[in-house]
Amino acid sequence: MTIVAPGAGTALASVGIGSDRALPAPVYVHADGVWTPVSATVPMPVTVGGAVAVSGPLTDAQLRAAPVQVVFGAAQPVVQSGSWTVGVSGTVAVSGPLTNSQLRASAVEVTGPLTDGQLRASPISVAQSGAWTVSLSGPVAVGSVPHAARSYVVLDYASGLVVDTTATSARSSLPAGAAAVTLVARGQAAWVRLGGGTVNASAGAGSLWLPAGLPFTVGVGGASHIAYLRDGPSDGQLVIIGSG
């Protein structure tokens, strides 16, 4: 059916809706002085006054466009798909030994004593910050003394006992009534040991090493005899001078 406008006789387009005919009325969107007909590419803006159910996943752009509040009706499991960096406040209990790299990455405070096994597991560097007092148990080997470091005293050798030092341990009685004796090895270093009537000297632990030519004074204590032998390829002598 054709509808003609009165007056000019212009034919108007019409659409059929059932048995009726109607003139189409286009809808326009107005913005900044421009009227644009509504179409599939220019949809009509709609303001929603309440909650709108959304089906299907939101895109990254949609999620980032504005904060989206998500309400869970129950606890939801979380699946970790990569490495997470987690900030920890407070003390964290660690089970199992730390590796060398972990210990060296940053300082680790250790409270309480370390066990023998922990101390022996790896070397621990100890920095000495002051004078140390060291207790020694057992004999201490003393090397030869440089000539410049020797001190010289006047000794009454004539009053001393002179004995030969050989490769075999020998012994002599100590000067009667002496509280101490000064010993001087002549020509060859010697090993000496103070004790009872059966005492023997040996090259090593338990005996005192005397460098040649250097006087050494030692308390007699309860000893009655002194044993001696040379320390070298040839025989020497030992001067024993009592005092006190």
CA 122 to chain centroid:
10
Question: Is beta strand 180-186 parallel, antiparallel or unpaired with respect to 216-219?
Answer: antiparallel
CA neighbor of 232 nearest in space, from 193, 194, 186, 199: 186
Q: How many CA atoms lie within 13 A of 100 on its CB side?
A: 4
**CA-CA distances (angstroms) from residue 9 to 12, 22, 44?**
9, 18, 34
The dihedrals phi and psi of 210, each to the nearest 5 degrees, come to: -115, 120
**Predicted pLDDT at 108:** 67
**Predicted pLDDT at 170:** 94
User: pTM for the complete prediction?
Assistant: 0.39
- Mean pLDDT score of the chain: 80
**Predicted pLDDT at 144:** 63
State the Cα–Cα distance between residues 194 and 138, nearest whole angstrom: 15
**Predicted pLDDT at 8:** 67
State the Cα–Cα distance between residues 199 and 227, nearest whole angstrom: 6
Question: Is beta strand 225-230 parallel, antiparallel or unpaired with respect to 180-186?
Answer: unpaired
**Predicted pLDDT at 133:** 81
**Predicted pLDDT at 53:** 76
Q: What is the largest CA-CA distance in the chain?
A: 166
The pLDDT profile of the chain, 244 residues, written as one tens digit per residue, is: 666 667 666 776 777 777 777 777 777 777 777 878 888 888 888 887 777 777 778 788 877 887 767 776 777 777 777 788 888 887 777 777 778 787 778 776 777 777 888 777 777 677 777 787 877 777 777 666 565 555 555 566 667 889 999 999 999 999 888 889 999 999 999 999 999 999 999 999 899 999 998 888 989 888 999 999 999 999 999 999 988 7
pLDDT digits (tens, 9 = 90+) for 145-179: 565 555 555 566 667 889 999 999 999 999 888 88
Residue 194 near residue 175 (C-beta atoms within 8 A) = no
**Predicted pLDDT at 176:** 86
CATH of 158-243 given 2.60.120.770, 2.30.130.10, 2.60.40.4070, 3.40.50.1820: 2.60.120.770
Question: Is beta strand 236-243 parallel, antiparallel or unpaired with respect to 161-165?
Answer: antiparallel
